[in-house]
Amino acid sequence: MRKAFVKTLIELAEKDESVYLLTGDLGFHALEDFALKFPKRFVNCGVAEQNMMGIAAGLAMCGKKPYVYSIVSFVTLRCLEQIRNDVCYQNLDVKIIGIGGGFSYGTLGASHSVLEDVAVMRVLPNMTVLCPADLLSTEELINKSYTTKNPTYIRISNVGKCEVYSQKPDLQIGETNTIRKGEDGAIIATGLPVYFSLEIIDELKKQNINLKLLDFHTLKPINKDHLLSAVKDFKNIFTIEEHSVIGGTGSVVAEILAQSDFVGNFKIIGMPDNFLDQVGEADYLRKKYIIKKEEIINNILNYFKQKT
Average pLDDT of the chain, as a whole number? 93
Q: What pLDDT, on the 0 to 100 scale, is given for residue 16?
A: 98
For CATH 3.40.50.920, the residue range(s) in the chain are 177-307
Q: What pLDDT, on the 0 to 100 scale, is given for residue 282?
A: 87
Q: Given pLDDT bands bounded at 50, 70 and 90, which one contains residue 27?
A: confident
Nearest to 286 by CA among 100, 99, 103: 103
d(CA 68, CA 23): 6
| Predicted confidence (pLDDT) at residue 305 exceeds the cutoff of 80 | no
Nearest to 296 by CA among 164, 171, 207: 207
Q: What pLDDT, on the 0 to 100 scale, is given for residue 171?
A: 97
Q: Please tell me the number of Cα atoms within 13 Å of 93 on its side-chain side.
A: 16
Q: What pLDDT, on the 0 to 100 scale, is given for residue 156?
A: 93
> Could you give the percent of the chain with pLDDT greater than 90?
78
> Average of pLDDT values for 78-95?
98
Q: Given pLDDT bands bounded at 50, 70 and 90, which one contains residue 159?
A: low
Contacts 24+ apart (CB under 8 A), 81-84: 81/50, 82/50, 82/53, 82/54, 82/57, 83/53, 83/121, 83/124, 83/127, 83/151, 84/124
> Average of pLDDT values for 205-232?
96
> Average of pLDDT values for 11-20?
98
Q: What pLDDT, on the 0 to 100 scale, is given for residue 261?
A: 93
Q: What pLDDT, on the 0 to 100 scale, is given for residue 2?
A: 84
Which has more pLDDT, 178 or 300?
A: 178
Count of helices and strands (H, E) across the chain: 12, 12
| Predicted confidence (pLDDT) at residue 160 exceeds the cutoff of 80 | no
Q: Given pLDDT bands bounded at 50, 70 and 90, which one contains residue 29?
A: confident
The whole-angstrom distance between residue 73's C-alpha and the CA centroid of its chain comes to: 14
> Average of pLDDT values for 176-190?
96
Answer whether 157's CB lies under 8 Å from 102's CB: yes
Q: What is the CATH number of domain 177-307?
A: 3.40.50.920
Q: What pLDDT, on the 0 to 100 scale, is given for residue 240?
A: 95
> Average of pLDDT values for 21-44?
94
For CATH 3.40.50.970, the residue range(s) in the chain are 2-156
Identify the helix (H) or strand (E) that includes residue 265. strand 265-271
Q: What pLDDT, on the 0 to 100 scale, is given for residue 1?
A: 84
Q: How far apart are the first and last CA of the chain?
A: 42
Q: What pLDDT, on the 0 to 100 scale, is given for residue 70?
A: 96
Nearest to 112 by CA among 162, 151, 76: 76
CA triple 1-61-89, angle to 5 deg: 80
Which residues fall within 8 angstroms of residue 256, CB to CB, at 6 or more apart?
A: 222, 224, 227, 228
d(CA 308, CA 271): 29
d(CA 67, CA 69): 6
pLDDT (tens digit per residue) in 263-302:
998 999 999 998 988 899 988 988 888 877 888 888 888 8
Rounded to 5 degrees, what are φ and ψ at 192? -55, -35
CB-CB neighbours of 77 under 10 Å: 17
| Predicted confidence (pLDDT) at residue 161 exceeds the cutoff of 80 | no
Q: Kindly report the pTM of this predicted structure.
A: 0.95
pLDDT (tens digit per residue) in 119-153:
999 999 999 999 999 999 999 999 999 999 999 99
Identify the helix (H) or strand (E) that includes residue 20. strand 19-23
At the fourth CATH level, the homologous superfamily of domain 2-156 is Thiamin diphosphate (ThDP)-binding fold, Pyr/PP domains (3.40.50.970)
Q: What is the DSSP letter of 25?
A: S
